[in-house]
Amino acid sequence: MIAPVAAWLLQDLMQVLAMGFMLVPEFFMLVVVYRTISGPLLPRRVSWWIWFAFAGGILWDMRWAAIPGMSGLINVAAVVLVYWVWNRTPVSGRGALLFAGLAGGMHFLSGVAHYFAWSVPSQAATRMFLVQQLLSIPVLAGLCLIYAFRASEPHV
Amino acid sequence: MVNKLNPILVSSLLALLFGLMTLWASYKFPAAVRVAVDNVGVFLSYPERPAQEIRTLVQATGNWVMERKSLQDRNRELEVENLALRTALQNVTIPSPVSTSELIGARVTLRYPEAWWKEVRVNRGSLHGVRVGAPAISDGYMIGKVVRVGEDYSWVELITSSSFMLAAVVNETWDLGVINGDDRGNVWLFYMPPEREFRRGMMISTAMVGDYLPPGIPIGRIWGSGETRDGFTPQSVASGAHLTQLYNLQILSSGAEGARN
């Protein structure tokens, strides 16, 4: 739980620094997605991450959007969709690349949803959206590396 | 599988339902949402403080740099404007040289820094009656002679030039010498006998050497004596004209006769 909270705070602090000229990547959502699929897919555990994603989204909306609910819904949808695909993928196919594709796709969809929900489509808004997506690539790469590293460790 | 999915499905649906309700509430009860938003903002202001400080610092630094650049640009503009105004003012305050039947008024149009003490170009030439060898005068003192003439310009070699040679006489003693410069602003009167006593302030004028140069045009005054060499003691001469700020001068026309005091 510490990692997602830290990710939320990091996202918040970076947004404070970049306020007005950049949208920071959705660190929180990516970390929650990662944590959801990186452990055993137990119903209670997954439910916990769904509510955690929801709470983080609501808090984010209250801090930055003043229209609570949107980010909460997007986060929940992202976690559920990733879980759904991941759960239906054979264990042999669950790898870092699949995680990258799912998390990256969710991040992209989240960005698109925010783009159309809150900003007036313009060149500046499009540029901010693209920068946000580009900045998420190193975060995704880092999470993929961590996943690959942990997956390569012998299970006790 | 169904049992496994159920809690997740229920949680998902409930979360989505709560999300939609929150969205609906935010539109329906904006005042309550504002209170909640304010409280969250206050709560988060503590962990966000370092980031806020850094942002403020970065902004202040950026503003300082922008302001400094803006001030520098403005300063440059003002300097250029000031130079233009000063030049315009200078042109206005410089008295226009007066031409008479004997003297041709001319304005200095060019004075090379590397030949500052050698020559100047003026805006009068052969069309105005200027001839080679004619003396140039400023403030009533001879400062040089015309060495090259164009139609509407001419070059005047200054008495401070090392190639300038002119016969001159000390008014008080009638001793004859040769005026010569050193390209550094100094003027010397050479071939003066060492046994004669020259005092500071004695007037030096042109001597009778030809038709083009009338005798008796003042050049300057004796300022001091140099070292005696080869049987002569050169005398340092202070020009009567202000050679460092030479904006205009007069050229003796070819038809002039007699000395001008």
Complex prediction ipTM: 0.81
User: Which of B18, B25, B52 has its CB closest to that of A54?
Assistant: B18
pLDDT for the residue numbered B258: 39
pLDDT at B75: 92
- In a domain? residue B260: no
User: Is B98 contained in some domain?
Assistant: no
Residue B14 and residue B59 in one domain: yes
- Provide the pLDDT confidence category of residue B92 given band limits of 50, 70 and 90: confident
Quick one: pLDDT at residue B189? 94
Flag if B12 and A51 touch (Cβ within 8 Å).
no
- Indicate whether B258 belongs to any domain: no
Q: B113 lies in which domain range?
A: 103-252
Contacts of B20 in chain A (CB under 8 A): 69, 73
Same-domain check for residues B112 and B168:
yes
Whether the pTM exceeds 0.80: the reply is: no
B226 and B163 housed in the same domain: yes
Distance between A20 CA and the closest CA of chain B, angstroms: 11
Contact B15 A70 (CB under 8 A): no
B149 and B65 within one domain: no
What share of chain B in percent tops pLDDT 90? 35
Which of B90, B124, B157 terminates a domain? The answer is: B90
For range B57-82, the mean pLDDT: 90
| B116 and B31 part of one domain | no
Mean pLDDT of chain B: 86
Q: Mean pLDDT of all residues in chain A?
A: 87
Cβ neighbours of B51 (radius 10 Å): 18
Same domain for B134 and B232 = yes
Whether residues B86 and B107 share a domain: the answer is no
**Least CA distance to B46: which residue of chain A?**
A13
Q: Are residues B21 and B62 in the same domain?
A: yes
CB–CB of B41 and A46 under 8 A?
Answer: no
CATH code of the domain covering residue B198 = 2.40.10.340
Residue with tokens 């105005």: B128
Asked if residue B261 is part of any domain, the answer here is: no
Does the pLDDT value for residue A29 go beyond 90? yes
Q: What are phi and psi of B225, to 5 degrees?
A: -105, 150
Res B256: pLDDT? 46
**Beta-sheet pairing, B141-149 with B176-181:** unpaired
**Domains contained in chain B, number:** 2
Identify whether residues B141 and B248 lie together within a single domain.
yes
Shared domain check, B237 and B117: yes
* Under 8 Å between Cβ of A49 and A38: no
Domain assignment of residue B44, yes or no: yes
Residues B163 and B75 in one domain: no
Between the alpha carbon of residue B127 and those of residues B5, B66, B154, B253, B254, the distances in Å are 110, 57, 10, 12, 12
Query: Do residues B171 and B246 share a domain?
Result: yes
The last residue of one of the domains, among B90, B123, B153, is: B90
Shortest alpha-carbon distance between residue B67 and chain A (Å) = 20
